[in-house]
């Protein structure tokens, strides 16, 4: 059982810092090496995380596209649905998603980072139909007999190395029931006329080494068997962002 306090989270992180470099996802409490090597300041260090976990930060990072990107996800959630969000997101997105499923449904949030789990739990504590689970999105599996109607990956894929992208995409698709939907909201290759393209090029070079892969590849390219599914993509803000919906192919 993972403790939710900041102190416990800090201790867990110190252990993770001391852990040897990992090359493959491992179950539950191991933190992937890229989290401490690349994203320590953004998601791991509790002092930074406290400053960053606000709607205004998300709005700024997403060039004020936060609400329209979140709407693509939230509008799909109806009362009674079972939803898995594969990673924590700063601000109030997780509460808003959980409120939409309501107590007739369920909302499961996974994340690999102890401090993110602590923040997720503090946001969702008052909603007993939610669960916050410390697990790698590449490995999380619904409990036996349970499935998710909607599985959402909100701005995670660009932050993980390509082999993790493949594992996460494959795992999400493997968990999708016949009637279900998998949703990816993430970066995309911006149009050449879009000035933000040049800002993001620099950001990617300096801070986001795994993001450029989404400029060059469709998300379907990270799936082992893309042909088994229907893929539909919407791009926003001059191609900076994409919303990709995946469903099982319908048999006529």
Ligand X SMILES: C[S@@+](CC[C@H](N)C(=O)[O-])C[C@H]1O[C@@H](n2cnc3c(N)ncnc32)[C@H](O)[C@@H]1O
Q: Is 89 in the site for ligand X (CB under 6 A)?
A: yes
Q: Is 60 exposed, middle or buried (0-12, 13-18, 19+ CB in 10 A)?
A: exposed
Q: Is 210 in the site for ligand X (CB under 6 A)?
A: no
Going by C-alpha positions, the residue among 183, 154, 158 that lies closest to residue 58 is 154
Distance between alpha carbon 7 and the CA centroid of its chain, in Å? Answer: 25
Q: Pick from 9, 100, 105, 111: which binds ligand X (CB under 6 A)?
A: 111
Q: Is 155 in the site for ligand X (CB under 6 A)?
A: yes
Q: Is 186 in the site for ligand X (CB under 6 A)?
A: no
- The minimum distance between CB 87 and ligand X, in angstroms, equals 3
Q: Which of these ranges, 86-94, 121-129, 198-206, 207-215, lies near ligand X under the rule CB under 6 A?
A: 86-94
Q: Is 112 in the site for ligand X (CB under 6 A)?
A: yes
Q: Is 114 in the site for ligand X (CB under 6 A)?
A: no
Q: In what order do the strands lie in the sheet with 150-154?
A: 130-134, 106-111, 82-85, 150-154, 181-187, 241-248, 229-236
Q: What is the spatial distance between Cα 165 and Cα 58, in angstroms, rounded to a whole number?
A: 22
| Residue labelled with tokens 């990673």 | 87
Q: Pick from 160, 172, 176, 200: which binds ligand X (CB under 6 A)?
A: 160
| Residue labelled with tokens 């909201």 | 185
**Total number of residues that touch ligand X (CB under 6 A):** 24
Judged by beta carbon, residue 113 or residue 242, the one nearer ligand X is 113
Q: Pick from 164, 184, 222, 241: which binds ligand X (CB under 6 A)?
A: 164
Let me know the angle formed at the C-alpha of 119 by 146 and 72, rounded to the nearest 5 degrees.
Answer: 60
Q: Pick from 113, 204, 242, 245: which binds ligand X (CB under 6 A)?
A: 113
Tokens read off for 14: 């110190």
Q: Pick from 16, 77, 81, 87: which binds ligand X (CB under 6 A)?
A: 87
Tokens read off for 69: 């990107």
Q: Is 137 in the site for ligand X (CB under 6 A)?
A: yes
Q: Is 184 in the site for ligand X (CB under 6 A)?
A: no
SS3 2: coil
Q: Is 116 in the site for ligand X (CB under 6 A)?
A: yes
Q: What is the spatial distance between Cα 126 and Cα 124, in angstroms, rounded to a whole number?
A: 6
Residue pair 133/161 in contact by the 8 Å Cβ criterion = no
Q: Is 138 in the site for ligand X (CB under 6 A)?
A: yes
Q: Is 214 in the site for ligand X (CB under 6 A)?
A: no
Instruction: Write out the residues near ligand X by the rule CB under 6 A.
Output: 32, 35, 43, 58, 61, 86-90, 110-113, 116, 136-138, 154-156, 159-160, 164
């Amino acid at each position: 059982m993972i403790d939710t306090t900041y102190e416990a989270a800090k201790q867990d992180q110190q252990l993770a810092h001391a852990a040897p470099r990992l090359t493959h996802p491992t179950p539950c409490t191991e933190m992937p090496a890229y989290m401490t090597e690349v994203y320590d300041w953004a998601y791991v260090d509790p002092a930074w995380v406290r400053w960053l976990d606000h709607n205004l930060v998300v709005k700024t990072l997403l060039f004020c596209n936060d609400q329209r990107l979140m709407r693509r996800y939230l509008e799909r959630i109806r009362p009674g649905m079972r939803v898995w969000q594969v990673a924590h997101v700063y601000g109030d997105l997780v509460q808003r998603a959980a409120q939409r499923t309501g107590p007739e449904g369920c909302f499961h949030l996974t994340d690999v980072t102890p401090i993110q789990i602590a923040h997720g739990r503090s946001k969702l504590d008052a909603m007993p139909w939610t669960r916050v689970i410390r697990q790698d999105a590449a490995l999380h599996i619904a409990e036996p007999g349970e499935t998710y109607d909607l599985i959402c990956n909100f701005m995670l894929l660009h932050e993980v190395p390509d082999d993790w992208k493949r594992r996460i995409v494959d795992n999400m698709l493997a968990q999708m029931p016949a009637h279900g939907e998998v949703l990816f909201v993430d970066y995309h290759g911006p149009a050449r006329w879009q000035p933000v393209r040049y800002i993001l090029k620099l950001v990617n070079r300096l801070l986001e080494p795994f993001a450029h892969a989404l400029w060059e590849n469709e998300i379907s390219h990270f799936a082992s068997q893309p042909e088994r599914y229907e893929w539909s993509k919407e791009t926003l803000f001059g191609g900076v962002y994409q919303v990709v919906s995946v469903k099982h192919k319908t048999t006529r």
